[in-house]
Chain A
């Protein structure tokens, strides 16, 4: 598979603080990647390094096949970091013209990209009059100007209202459906779960997991149960080898599966044992629960 970004043993220290520690991973063409991590886990620093605004202490990275200089490679990359940064006294169109000049692309794309993010009717308004959601959408339009091979988004929905978040997500999904590689840094797990196919989990600058999202959520799931015969149910579950850990909160019993079993089969089994369930839900761990387990301690 064609690689777009390769990071090798990257380390960044800010004085005594190690923001990124010996990090390595590869971004391949066509996938949607998520970088997950709590605040201060080194997500933005990592992106800052590969985007040429932060200097690495050790290790390195290369774009594409490694034969292009970083600033030339960045002309084929679209990136938004934290807050949208534009010249407040210029209109949206003027700002995008400036970006076109930097990236060396034709100005004809401006109208098309403003259309994609729904800002075409506001193109002659000054940037400083925009709301945060509009600024963020303009940033996406700007990142798309050069038809990038990879789109890098650092917490694109941060600070937005629900409508704004929804709009941004819809745009991201639309872009992803066209086959553009996306690298999305976020601490919002459902965002990553909804959009990404691959994930890199960071904690305190170290890589905890890197691989497919569905492999990360690899367990057989669990049952949430309630029954009149509470104690009997627990006894049956404890004696059954199919179940591992059993957690009890008030009347709610959570039983984790060791092997796959579907809800009808379980219900039948209980019926045979003479236990009538008043509540039965089969679930899989969400990315959130997996993530909390990984980043715990």
Chain B
């Protein structure tokens, strides 16, 4: 396993483009989060301090930061898609197999890399959340601080699931740009199907079905932070009954998709003549 991970890391880290993208995908979200947590003074007219609205209090900070950080997953998605696209365009996938890498090992080395980067991203988010939370929150009881850290797990799972989808699309179309376009098409397709079901039945059923779709199910893992803020601010917040927790069935759906994408990538490679 370590050997496969090392292989892929060498391929990625010696490539300038992917090195820069990996760096951006790690640094940018933290930069934005830290910046937003600062007190910004608009020339004396008014002061914007997001922390003031309780955004960075425990436990809501876990929810907010993982939600925003996951918006930056697109940068690493480009890396994932191009690491397949490059193997095909350089024909190095063929050479790797000739040199004695099995097709299973090839897919696994990509998957391990995805898991590895997701784990690092999750760990960094954990650190940053902890710092911001401790700074803004008056809570200093350990059990309260680590309440709702399931959002971290959800964040990790969301990344792994999303990148597995990218891996599959990369294997399917062999070219990075087309794979990214495909991702966009899939997004639109999910909403078209949602629209069609709403039209034929009703929005309630449509939403329930849509929650099983790959992109929507990943989104559902960490959802609706705005409503949550609204609830916490509204005087009679109990009237809005939004469901924002991480549910076990959401986790199962995303894990199912991840397994399916990796398996399909392997099947695709096995059947294909290179």
Selected from A14, A69, A97, A103, the residue in CB contact (under 8 A) with B99 is A103
Q: Which of A69, A77, A85, A102 has the largest count of B CB atoms less than 10 A from its CB?
A: A102
Contact of A74 with B273 in the complex, beta carbons under 8 Å: no
- Considering only residues 83-127 of chain A, those with a C-beta below 8 Å from chain B are 83, 85-90, 94, 97-99, 101-104
- Quote the shortest CB–CB distance from B240 to chain A (angstroms): 53
Selected from A53, A89, A97, A101, the residue in CB contact (under 8 A) with B98 is A53
Q: Which of B2-10, B129-137, B146-154 contacts A (4 or more CB under 8 A)?
A: B2-10
A164 within 8 A of B: no
Taken residue by residue from 255 to 277, chain A's Cβ proximity to chain B (1 for < 8 Å, 0 otherwise) reads as: 00000000000000000000000
Contact of B14 with A75 in the complex, beta carbons under 8 Å: no
Q: Which of B90, B270, B271 has the largest count of A CB atoms less than 10 A from its CB?
A: B90
| Chain B interface size range | 20 to 34
CA distance A77 to B100 in the complex (A): 8
Tell me how many residues of A have a C-beta within 8 Å of chain B: 31
B28 within 8 A of A: no
B202 within 8 A of A: no
- Considering only residues 203-257 of chain A, those with a C-beta below 8 Å from chain B are none
26 sampled A-B residue pairs with Cβ under 8 A: A48-B274, A53-B94, A53-B273, A55-B271, A69-B102, A71-B100, A71-B102, A74-B99, A79-B99, A81-B94, A81-B95, A81-B98, A86-B95, A87-B14, A87-B86, A88-B90, A89-B14, A90-B14, A94-B10, A94-B14, A97-B10, A101-B3, A101-B6, A102-B7, A102-B96, A103-B99
> How would you classify the secondary structure of chain B's contact residues: helix, strand, loop or mixed?
helix
- B15 CB contacts on chain A under 8 angstroms: 87, 89
User: Given A72-B100, A94-B14, are A87 and B91 also a contact pair (CB < 8 Å)?
Assistant: no
- A103 CB contacts on chain B under 8 angstroms: 99-100
Contact of A102 with B100 in the complex, beta carbons under 8 Å: yes
- A98 CB contacts on chain B under 8 angstroms: 7, 10-11
- Quote the shortest CB–CB distance from B93 to chain A (angstroms): 9
Contact of A86 with B92 in the complex, beta carbons under 8 Å: yes
B48 within 8 A of A: no
Taken residue by residue from 112 to 142, chain B's Cβ proximity to chain A (1 for < 8 Å, 0 otherwise) reads as: 0000000000000000000000000000000
- A97 CB contacts on chain B under 8 angstroms: 10
- Quote the shortest CB–CB distance from A283 to chain B (angstroms): 41
- Quote the shortest CB–CB distance from B111 to chain A (angstroms): 17
Chain B residue, CB-CB nearest to A71: B102
- Quote the shortest CB–CB distance from B101 to chain A (angstroms): 5
Contact of A79 with B98 in the complex, beta carbons under 8 Å: yes
Contact of B91 with A85 in the complex, beta carbons under 8 Å: yes
In order of increasing CB-CB distance, the 10 nearest A-B pairs are: A71-B102, A75-B100, A85-B95, A74-B100, A85-B91, A53-B274, A102-B99, A54-B273, A51-B98, A79-B98
- Quote the shortest CB–CB distance from B86 to chain A (angstroms): 8
Chain B residue, CB-CB nearest to A98: B10
Contact of A87 with B90 in the complex, beta carbons under 8 Å: yes
Taken residue by residue from 63 to 97, chain B's Cβ proximity to chain A (1 for < 8 Å, 0 otherwise) reads as: 00000000000000000000000100011101111
- B103 CB contacts on chain A under 8 angstroms: 52
Chain B residue, CB-CB nearest to A69: B102
- B3 CB contacts on chain A under 8 angstroms: 101, 104
Chain A residue, CB-CB nearest to B18: A89
A residues apposed to B, CB below 8 Å: 14, 48, 51-55, 69, 71-72, 74-75, 77, 79, 81, 83, 85-90, 94, 97-99, 101-104, 142
Chain B residue, CB-CB nearest to A88: B90
CA distance A202 to B222 in the complex (A): 61
Chain A residue, CB-CB nearest to B105: A71
User: Given A83-B91, A87-B92, are A53 and B97 also a contact pair (CB < 8 Å)?
Assistant: yes
Contact of A71 with B101 in the complex, beta carbons under 8 Å: yes
Contact of B100 with A85 in the complex, beta carbons under 8 Å: no
Taken residue by residue from 231 to 257, chain B's Cβ proximity to chain A (1 for < 8 Å, 0 otherwise) reads as: 000000000000000000000000000
Known contacts A54-B274, A71-B105; 17 additional CB pairs below 8 A are A52-B98, A53-B98, A53-B274, A55-B270, A55-B273, A71-B100, A75-B99, A77-B100, A79-B99, A83-B91, A86-B95, A87-B11, A87-B92, A89-B14, A89-B16, A98-B10, A102-B101
- A77 CB contacts on chain B under 8 angstroms: 100
Chain A residue, CB-CB nearest to B96: A102
CA distance A12 to B14 in the complex (A): 38
CA distance A53 to B100 in the complex (A): 11
- Considering only residues 1-45 of chain B, those with a C-beta below 8 Å from chain A are 3, 6-7, 10-11, 14-16
Q: Which of B95, B97, B101, B274 has the largest count of A CB atoms less than 10 A from its CB?
A: B95
- A55 CB contacts on chain B under 8 angstroms: 270-271, 273
Chain B residue, CB-CB nearest to A100: B99
- A85 CB contacts on chain B under 8 angstroms: 90-92, 94-95
CA distance A98 to B92 in the complex (A): 11
Chain B residue, CB-CB nearest to A52: B97
Chain A residue, CB-CB nearest to B7: A101
CA distance A71 to B11 in the complex (A): 21
- A14 CB contacts on chain B under 8 angstroms: 273
- B97 CB contacts on chain A under 8 angstroms: 51-53, 71, 74
- B270 CB contacts on chain A under 8 angstroms: 55
